[in-house]
Structure formats: C-alpha cells, structure tokens
Chains A and B, each alone.
Chain A
C-alpha cells in the first residue's frame, strides 16, 4: 500500500477537477437559476463521490475490489432494468445466467485474467443455448435468447471493461478519462441542445439536436487535449484526437442504442432510481460503447490495457 500521492497522479487530478466543476456549476446555478437542471445535478452530487470514493479506496488500500464490486452491482441493476422493460425478466433462467456472466466477468477483470475475460461471454452465450432445451419450450425463446445475449455483451462484457481498466496503473488514467468524459459529453450534449439546439437529427431520440451533438463532440475533443498530459501522457496527438472522437461519438452511439430499445418497447425511461436521469441504464448507456471501444483501441496502439 502506497500513500504517496504525486501531483501528476490522475486520480487526484480528476477528483479536484470534478470537485471544481461541481462547485462551479452549483454556484452558477445558484446565481442564474435555470429551471429543471437542479435535480440531475443533485443526483450527480451523490453519484460522483461514490464513483471517485470507490477508486480512492482501491488506490489507497492496494488493489481492493471496491470499484469492481460497484461496477458489477451497477451492471446487474442496469441489466435488471433492461430485462424488466423488455419483459425478459419473466424468463428467470435466462436472467440468472446473465447475472452469472456479469459476476464472472467482474472476477476475471479483478484478477486481470484477460483470457477468462474474453472467454466468459462465449461461455455465457453457450450456456444460454441450453435454457430452452432445459425448459423444453420454443415459444418466445428466440426473443429471450437474443435479449439475453444483448444482456451478456452490453451489461456483462462491455461494462466490465470499466473494472478491467482499473486494475493497471496506466489504466487508471484511461478509466477516469473515459468515465468522466463520457458523462460530461452527455451533459454537454444536453446543455448545448437545450440552449442552442434547433435541428433534430435522429428519430431514435428526438431530444438530440445537431447543434448539441456536434458542439459536445468539439468540446470533448478540446478537453481531451487539455487533460491528455495527465491522463495518458505517453499517447501522441493523433491518439489523443482519436480518444476524444471515441468518447464523443461512442457516447452518442451508446445513448442511441439504448434509446432504440426504449422506443421499440414503448417506455420513456428504464427506471427512476436516479432522479433527473431516469434509470441506471439511462446513465451508463454511453459507457457501454465508449468503455470497450476506448480500452481496446488505446490498449492495442499505446498499451496500458494489459492483455
């Protein structure tokens, strides 16, 4: 266990930066009084300390599983929302296999067993194939199988990259960057859209505007260049540009993927646990795309994602 904290340590940097942003936004809102944004901000004031607190515990008390447990718990609760919204939750055996895959991925990530980490989704899909056979049913089984695979891949495999990244010293900078910037990119898209948005660009999510999405992407890329020297100083400028684009574009894609689920099913939000945001899935949907894309891209080209 090391208690020495360097000035260029990403966790310290991001904690201070997050606190400054939150204080700044709170002061701004106390003065300007924009209606309707206080509720989501208040939820942020609870969520961010939990996220950063878990990482601090792992950092200060060498390699604890707190962050991994947090990610697994959020994944399970988010998948439960997904399963309840799509009706898959009525098929208990499918759901239990997906839960098992999420937990197995968390363990593999914590142990940094890349081979298990990559093999578990395969095994989960194989085991899911047994469910209709065991239950001796055909009706609705293709749908349940398909939805369960979405569950294994998006909620088990993709989100577990957040646990995997946290296990290496270089990965911590990647992790903080991808988590916080993905969320900031979401928030920026929302704020730009509300204030400057005119042109809707997708029927999947009518709240998205061209202005909001593009301005958020530009801001994200600029901010990526500003923080790259601390988050991942070894990455050359082109790589930094790519990192910004992955977060800026991938976040929107993740958002739209789950928005598509909601539209198909006919619900507005996945749940109500996060006041002002909706369900957990509504909050982590962007991370489902950005986390794996970012981790594999950066890891392959620039290291820091030990395989």
Chain B
C-alpha cells in the first residue's frame, strides 16, 4: 500500500507531519536521488499519510479543540442542534435586541457573564448565517472534562475549550492559534466566570492584538432568567441583548474600560422602565 514511482519514499517511513497540516499543499516532493533519468514525479504521486492529530485524545478534549478537526457526525449534530437550541431559547424568553453586528470576517463578541443562558442568548439573537461563524470559548474545567457537558456545549452552542486555569501557556497557545486563523467570530466572556465581575485582561487583549475587532455586548435579564445556582431556568423573563459599536485597534487596556463602561450602562434590565421599545 505504498508508493510507486518515487524510489526514495520508503513505505512505512512516511513521517507523521504536523497537526492537521492541510492535505493539499503538495510537498513539492523532495527530489529523489536516481529520479533524474525518469520524469519528475508529479506532486502528490507518493502516498503520504497524515493521521488526524486528535487520535489519542479522549472525546471531551476532541470536542473542545480549536482549530477543529473535520467530523461528519458532530458537524451534522451542530447543523441541527444549533438552530434548535436557538429556537428553543427564543421561545422561552421575551427578547429585545438593541444594535446590530457588522458583516465582517473577523469579530470578537464580548458579553458580560451572569448566567448559563448568556452564550445561547447572544447566539440566538444573531442571524443564522452569523451564528454559524461563532466559536464560543468555554471553560475547559467546567465543560470539557466529561463527555456529556462537552457534547452539549459543542453541539448546542459550538463551544471550544479554553483553559482558564493555566493562563499564560494557554494565552500563548491562543496567540499562535489566532496567528494561523484567517477568519472567524469568537464569543468570549472576559469575566471568565458567572460568579465574578472582575475582568481578565488576557484573552481579550490577545484577540484584540491579533486583529480581531471587539464588539461589546451587554446582557440584561439573564441573571434573573437563570440565576447562578438555580437548577432550571425561569421562562418568559425579559432578556435584553445590546450590541455595541466595534472597537478597532483596541490593543491597550482601554478595551477593558470600554467593556466595563458598556456593561455598566446596558447590563441591567430595569433601566428601561417602560419595558418594551
């Protein structure tokens, strides 16, 4: 099951090359000694095996990796589960949207975080074609250590794992990953947890410095609709999602001030007394 034509490519010696290296860029087959007489082998003439880089990973880690590896089953599950989850969330609460999101290839959405509903609330308020682009960064320690929550988070809101415990190495990894990521939308919670309000500068700044414009998003009402510690949500509450203006070139600590101010201004439901607009 090995190559013919290129004498130099020993079967079985095919080195396993880097993680998920694109299959296409033909490695301009290194000139084989002795091949001078015969016509140069066409690129791709030799069999090169590139095993998926996540073969040794357990299922939760596999679901949480970014960039993702292609997987027909989870792709189908996401294509079905995402819209269903969004429709369900929309049916459960009275939503109100303020502002819009620009149609750009790169965007980082940064909402405040008070509830399990937050990610789905933002996603369900985006148009479907935008929603499909979004990757939600979710806590590895909470979502991606057991199969069931990993499946839920991955299928229903397209989450990938962010290791909030090993901060520096994880930030360095994401800096590298973002350098190799051409486009995409990310949904990041700079507060890192539903239970704290302190801002963690790391990931927002990594995203901003990697060239992702930041859209501040303020969620109001999710804390009441599903409070921290409650077992189930409380349906039919009002939830307001406010999208701010994109912040470009936010490579400084200003970004955190902008976010904090935006959330302070729009992150509470009771500052619009008359209820609906």
Contact = CB atoms under 8 A, between A and B. Distances in A.
Contacts of B72: 92, 95-96, 99
A267 B55 contact: yes
A4 interface: no
B51 A84 contact: yes
Nearest to A138: B44
B16 A266 contact: yes
Contacts of A267: 16, 51, 55
A198 interface: no
B206 to A, nearest CB: 29
Contacts of B50: 87, 90
B88 interface: no
Given A265-B14, A265-B16, A266-B14, A139 B2 contact: no
B236 interface: no
B127 interface: no
B12 interface: yes
A201 to B, nearest CB: 18
Interface majority SS (helix, strand, loop, mixed), chain A: helix
B39 to A, nearest CB: 16
B70 interface: yes
B49 A265 contact: yes
Contacts of A261: 1
Interface in A82-115: 84-87, 89-92, 95-96, 99
B26 interface: yes
A167 to B, nearest CB: 28
Contact of A139 (B15, B26, B49): B26
Contacts of A226: none
A131 to B, nearest CB: 14
Contacts of B43: 139
B102 interface: no
Nearest to B25: A139
A89 B12 CA distance: 20
A29 to B, nearest CB: 26
A90 B1 contact: no
B5 to A, nearest CB: 10
B56 interface: yes
B11 interface: yes
Contact of B14 (A138, A141, A260, A264): A264
Counting from the closest, the 8 A-B pairs by CB-CB distance are: A139-B44, A87-B50, A265-B49, A84-B52, A143-B47, A266-B16, A90-B23, A140-B44
Given A86-B49, A139-B44, 13 more contacts: A85-B52, A87-B50, A90-B70, A99-B72, A140-B24, A140-B44, A140-B48, A143-B44, A150-B1, A264-B14, A266-B12, A271-B55, A272-B58
